[in-house]
Structure 1
Amino acid sequence: MILTLIIICEVGFWVLLAAGLGARYLLRMPRLGAALLLCEPLLEVVLLIATAIDLRNGAEPGWHHGLAALYIGYTVGHGHRTVKWLDGHAAHRLGGAPPPVAPPRYGMARAAHEGRVWAGTLIGAAVATGLLLLAIRYVGDSGSTASLEAWMYQAWRITGIHGLIALTYLIWPRQEPGGVKGDDGDREPVRVERRPGA
């Protein structure tokens, strides 16, 4: 049941997102669009309640319960950024707004961007861990909690790998081809030395 509900919530997330953006920019009904977008967190609340009821009814804690916690954590950590990114593109494509500002690609600006994205993963792992700890305490000695503990390990393993990837942009900042980038992201002029007699 929980796995089916996770799939329903994922599909529902994109359906509500498309409906909200469509109402905002195609139907020119911004209030309706905002209301539909605000309904998205309710999907996570429904999933959380269903997971708690499933465990309360004596279900053996399994991988699907851990997956539900990670799904909720990911939505908390990255859902707002995803909606904001898609809203910017919908406003440009459907509402005549200027193109959204692309993320920086080079230098310390790119490193800062990657750090902010990693912070979302960190928040998601913290939320998932909190939910898993509550589930473990809720189950107590009445069942095995090894699968829930394994999901906590996976959440922080993913966070650690993502953090190392983000750190590489800080240690080895990408340079723009054809010039040297400064910390402010502006290209420094390339000096061309002229040979005598040229």
Structure 2
Amino acid sequence: MIVALIAACEIGFWVLLAAGLACRYVLRMPRTGLVLLLCEPLLELVLLVATALDLRNGAEPNWTHGLAALYIGYTVGHGHRTVKWLDGHAAHRFGGAPPPPKPPRYGMARARHEGKVWLGSVAGAAVATVLLQLAIWYVDDPSRVTSLESWRYVAWRAAGIHGLVALSYLVWPRKPEGGKDTVPAREESVRR
């Protein structure tokens, strides 16, 4: 049941996002679009409540409960950035706004960008850890919560791997073709 609900929440996220952006920019109903976009966190709340009820009704804590915590954490850590990115593209394509700036491609600017994205993964891992710990306390049976405990390590392992990738941009900054450390004029104008 939990896996189906996770899939439904993911599908619902994209459906609400598409509907919200379509209302804002295609149908010229910005308030309706905003309401639809603001409904997205309700999906995670539904998943959280359903997971808690499943555990309360005696379900054996397993990987599906851990996956639900990671999904909610990922959405908290990266959902806003995803919505903002797609909103900028929809505003450009359908609303006549200027094109959204692309992330920097080279040097320290790229390293800073990757660091900010990594902070979203850290926030997601922290949220997942809190939810998993609450579930462990809720179940209150050490013999039944090993699956939930292992998902905490999965969350932080994913954040750690993402951190190493982000760190690689700092240690080995990518240079523009030609090997110069300067940022091309086009990227410099986009950052302003």
Range of TM-score over shorter length: over 0.9
Deviations 1:16-52 (A, max 9, x none): 0000000000000100000000000000001001100
CA distance in 2 between partners of 1:174 and 1:95 (Å): 34
TM (norm. structure 2) is: 0.94
CA 1:157–1:142: 2 relative to 1, 3 Å: closer
Q: Kindly indicate whether the alpha-carbon contact (under 8 Å) linking 2:176 and 2:184 is maintained by their aligned counterparts in 1.
A: no
Name 2:103's counterpart in structure 1.
Answer: 103
Deviations 1:75-110 (A, max 9, x none): 000000000010011111111111110000000000
Deviation at 1:178, TM superposition (A): 2.0
Q: Which ranges in structure 2 are unaligned for 5 or more consecutive residues?
A: 186-192
CA distance in 1 between partners of 2:10 and 2:172 (Å): 36
Name 1:169's counterpart in structure 2.
Answer: 169
CA distance in 1 between partners of 2:38 and 2:10 (Å): 15
Name 2:31's counterpart in structure 1.
Answer: 31
Structure 1 segment 68-79 matched on structure 2, within 5 A: 68-79=68-79
CA distance in 1 between partners of 2:103 and 2:61 (Å): 40
TM (norm. structure 1) is: 0.91
Q: Kindly indicate whether the alpha-carbon contact (under 8 Å) linking 1:70 and 1:155 is maintained by their aligned counterparts in 2.
A: yes
Q: Kindly indicate whether the alpha-carbon contact (under 8 Å) linking 1:60 and 1:143 is maintained by their aligned counterparts in 2.
A: no
Find out whether 1:40 has 2:40 as its counterpart.
yes
CA distance in 1 between partners of 2:169 and 2:141 (Å): 45
Greater helix proportion: 2
Name 1:117's counterpart in structure 2.
Answer: 117
CA distance in 2 between partners of 1:178 and 1:89 (Å): 31
Report % sequence identity. Answer: 72
CA 1:46–1:143: 2 relative to 1, 3 Å: farther
Give the superposed CA RMSD: 1.2
Deviation at 1:142, TM superposition (A): 7.4
Q: What amino acid maps onto 2:152 in structure 1?
A: M
Q: Kindly indicate whether the alpha-carbon contact (under 8 Å) linking 2:77 and 2:124 is maintained by their aligned counterparts in 1.
A: yes
Q: What is the SS of the residue equivalent to 2:141?
A: helix
Deviation at 1:186, TM superposition (A): 5.3
Q: What is the SS of the residue equivalent to 2:140?
A: helix
Task: State the number of aligned residues.
Answer: 185
